[in-house]
Amino acid sequence: MTPLKVPFRIHSNGWLIPVFCAVTAFRIAGLTLALPIGALLLASLLLHEAGHILAALYFRVPVREFGLAFAGAYTRRAYATRRRHEILIAAAGPAMNLLLVIPFLFLPQYGAQLALCNLLLGIINLLPIPSSDGLRILKAIWYPTAPGIMTAAPTPTQV
């Protein structure tokens, strides 16, 4: 069995995301801990996307790539063929952030701030605003015939 590979891509302006994480970490913890705290913030963003990817792969939804762009971390994938799967895949990213809250609370010194960042990231992603997981969930619930959401088995051209 060959391992599943999902390509990672950093767009030309995607380097701004690690810089943003480092600046945020500097404001939280100062110069001495900016790098490790920034790395944990970046890891939180990437683990959010890993949540989507793992759920998509579990439901056999093709994942094209994930990466960093000016707008943040992202995952490019096909739509699930079932509404329930689409909802679960979209919710898996915020769920990952909410799961990260607990272990971060046990980190000494700045764990509470990292936990709060993950809590906010999970909650904000559930809001139904453009390009959010919340909007994707809402569309899957309210519009069962939205593009990609199939009511029957997909044809080979739809996968």
pLDDT computed for residue 75 by the predictor:
96
pLDDT computed for residue 149 by the predictor:
54
Answer whether residue 3 is part of any domain: no
The helix/strand/coil state of 80 is coil
Answer whether residue 85 is part of any domain: yes
Dist CA 39 CA 45 (whole Å)? 10
pLDDT computed for residue 4 by the predictor:
72
Dist CA 78 CA 52 (whole Å)? 12
Q: Does residue 102 register a pLDDT over 50?
A: yes
Total structural domains in the chain? 1
Amino acid letter, residue 100: L
Query: What's the maximum distance between 2 C-alpha atoms anywhere in the chain?
Result: 56
Give residue 156's pLDDT band: very low, low, confident or very high (50, 70, 90).
very low
Q: What is the pLDDT of residues 44-84, one digit of tens each?
A: 999 999 999 999 999 999 999 999 999 899 999 999 999 99
Answer whether residue 2 is part of any domain: no
Answer whether residue 79 is part of any domain: yes
Amino acid letter, residue 106: F
Q: b or e along 104-141 (b: 16 or more beta carbons within 10 Å of the residue's beta carbon)? A: beeeeebbebbbebbeebbeebbeeeeebbbbbbbbbe
Helix, strand, coil percent content, the chain, rounded in steps of 5: 55, 10, 35
Dist CA 61 CA 58 (whole Å)? 8
Answer whether residue 105 is part of any domain: yes
Answer whether residue 1 is part of any domain: no
Answer whether residue 77 is part of any domain: yes
Domain residue limits at 19? 8-158
